[in-house]
Amino acid sequence: MSLDDPVLAVAPQTQPTAAGSGIPPRFNCFVTGTDTEIGKTLISSAMLHALVQSGVRACGMKPVAAGAELGDDGKWHNDDCDQLAAAGNVHLPQSITTPFLLKEPAAPHIAAALEGITISPVPILAAYVEINAASDAVVVEGVGGFIVPLNDEFDTADLAEQLELPVVLVVGLRLGCISHALLTVEAILSRGLKLVGWVANETQADMPFADENVAALAQRIPAPLLGRVPRLDEPTAEAAADHIDFTQLPNWPLENTI
């Protein structure tokens, strides 16, 4: 048995607690997207912002991030990771919230190879357990689309499967998004994962037939449309959250809706 065997998968953290325990159920999820650069971080940050507003201890996790720059503080920074950290209210070392921070902005397995690193699920799962213990809610953001190689035998879909978290899909509204979204949904369900909601994110201004695209997806995706985020002049977590009803998600702690 190797350390990377799925037997090490973390037990689901979103199951309802026993009746009468007095402990509210946790909210944890895995955020994926139809492609890279389609707004996963914006939606994940909006989710964290809404969780913080509800009064829970919320932490974002991006297990693998590719593309980092050395900051004035002498530390390597990735924009996505920094946005997640800013949106949450549980602040842990970056080595925990992002076990694999890679410098080259390339596919993770390529960026890792350039640094002589092999991305393994073991540090990710261990870090997730630590984050889970320190928080009431954890939002895990994937990298790129749903199936992205992390090493020769392990990809982001495998990671989602091992974490066993409910999945929220971000669909970037642009030409081709219907096929991309439906193929991603098919891949998520084929892994035995539960798709609990999706968000339409307008990645470009004045997309032709955007309404028709959203309607076609809403008819075909077997999960609720949580919201449609317009092209924002200032794409902040707070601004995006105003367009999304997260209360449709299982175990969401907030009572009010948009």
Which helix (H) or strand (E) segment holds residue 161: the answer is helix 156-163
Q: Where are the beta strands (DSSP E) in the chain?
A: 27-33, 58-61, 64-66, 69-70, 76-77, 100-102, 137-141, 149-151, 154-155, 167-173, 195-202, 225-229
40, 62, 75, 194: which is the annotated catalytic residue?
Answer: 62
Amino acid at 51: L
User: Residue 62 catalytic?
Assistant: yes
- 229 contacts: CB under 8 Å, gap ≥ 6: 39, 42, 43, 46, 199, 200, 201, 202, 240, 243, 244
DSSP letters for 73-131: TSSEE-HHHHHHHHH-S----HHHH-SEEESSSS-HHHHHHHTT----HHHHHHHHHHH
What whole-number distance in Å separates Cα of residue 213 and Cα of residue 195?
19
Which residues form the catalytic set?
A: 62
